[in-house]
Structure 1
Amino acid sequence: MASGGAGDDDGGIPLDIDNVHMLLQVEHEQIQKRTFTNWINAQLSKRCPPSFVSDLFSDLRDGSQLLDLLEVMSGQRMIKLVNINISDIIDGRPSIILGLIWTIILHCHIEELANTLSFSSRHSSLDSLSSLDSWSGSPVPASPVPGGRTSPLHRRFRVSAKKALLMWVRDQCQRVGCSVSVRDFKSSWRSGEAFLAILCSLRPQLVDLSLVRSRSNQENLEEAFHLAERELNIPRLLEPQDVDVKDPEDKSIMTYVAQFLQYSNDMPSPDDHLQVSPSERAEEVTCWLQQAYQELSESQTATEKSSFAEKYQVFQNFADSFTEQRKPVMTLLASIRRRPEMSQEQCALKAAWDRLEEECICLGKCS
């Protein structure tokens, strides 16, 4: 006679829906822990001297590695932690620490990278976003601004970093003729084909996509992670067994995929040899930022006695125009933050950005 199932006298756990959910949650926590720990160590290796996290739930208790991480991501010295329950960190509560690290990854890494994306992408990508069921929310019209100032994307969507990253992935896949349907950051990645398609788009000579269908999921994933680490210097945050599961952990996959976008942003454009040096480019962008600051100041003065609605409209027009043109600034700032030392021109660029940012915040409060 067949032996009894789980929950009989053998002491097994009954596999009812609640227990299955609990086991899946624990599995996702473990994958997040490994991925986030790898991501943190990749960032902390940029410090001088570098630091290292061995156990995510215990090594953050004194706050020193957390401060190190925030300094690397912001490019500024951190003095104190804000709105963080220190007792939860001291106790090593997994949900709190994983949530905290995900917030840092999303806002300081993924969103910053997504902001550098060119929003003049293919209409097909934009149209396909509207059909996605993975995220809540529907197209929201942007604030009214003069014609020609905003991109098609801004006119139709307020796009989250998650959607922007997905749109970038789909563009990479289309670029190399990959037919895989990437609809989310979960099961769409299980076969490994999407990772290899991104690699093929960034470095065509590295990958033969015709071999993908003849290999197993784990073989494709191993190939992608190995090539990304060896050829693109992208830290191996995931293992094949983390992705080749029925319900992959989406935050971990997003964290890893964002590194490919960073690599893409750091790649020289085809005509870079015809362009000016980094120092000259920093000077040009600094000049543009100073002009933008002057424009903002003049707008603030001109609307001093205007109504709230008029002030808001002026600020909104400036913000939309500035957002559209900020890609070179964000790209340069991101590369500057990764350098241990900055040139005089790069210091001037960062100072000009900080000044404009403060003025925007001030005007936003006033309006």
Structure 2
Amino acid sequence: MLIKLLEVLSGERLPKPTKGRMRIHCLENVDKALQFLKEQRVHLENMGSHDIVDGNHRLTLGLIWTIILRFQIQDISVETEDNKEKKSAKDALLLWCQMKTAGYPNVNIHNFTTSWRDGMAFNALIHKHRPDLIDFDKLKKSNAHYNLQNAFNLAEQHLGLTKLLDPEGQHTHTHTHRFSLRAASQVLDNAIETEKMIEKYESLASDLLEWIEQTIIILNNRKFANSLVGVQQQLQAFNTYRTVEKPPKSGERACSML
């Protein structure tokens, strides 16, 4: 479904999905989608195919939002009030946030990532529209976890905004977590490579078995010639079989046994 979504939104053809319902097939298909996004220079920090396959709601929602932002919102143009220039929808939204939070202490919005991690910007936006919900002067920039939790809870309870983020999701991941993701990615790559080797083995074994069955039929149905020329031709054909045709098949048999 992720591959189909990207094809519809981007208008491009992605690699054909791998058939099968095993976990390895699911991981490989999601990996194809993520690889396409990387080729489109879409930044996916600390996200692997296993996160989507395992049903991580936060990362899945984040991925869908990233796709919407890249293939739909990014292409929308918004005119400024004086109609002197046009901005992308993303830039217009950023400008709106800056205007709404102008003058709030410890709030400096210049992007949609690091500017929000301490929670002050979220609280400032809520306070701007509902000052009765927050005593903004009591918030401390150093208490990021409380700020984020406070903003998300108030938005859900009083503004009808479903909590799609959690405070931990706004913090920078530790080196250990990044290492774990890289290790998991390596395991996935190895598993995919093993799956390809199994498919190659099955194809090789199937072809070899078919050749053996056909050769047995030919040998069982052979008739010996009654002339010297005929015997010589049969002998030459046998030598060709023994020296040219059989050796590579013997090698395939050895590989399949390994």
**TM tier, smaller:** 0.3 to 0.5
Q: Tell me which structure has the larger Cα radius of gyration.
A: 2
Higher RCO (Cα < 8 Å, 6 or more apart): 1
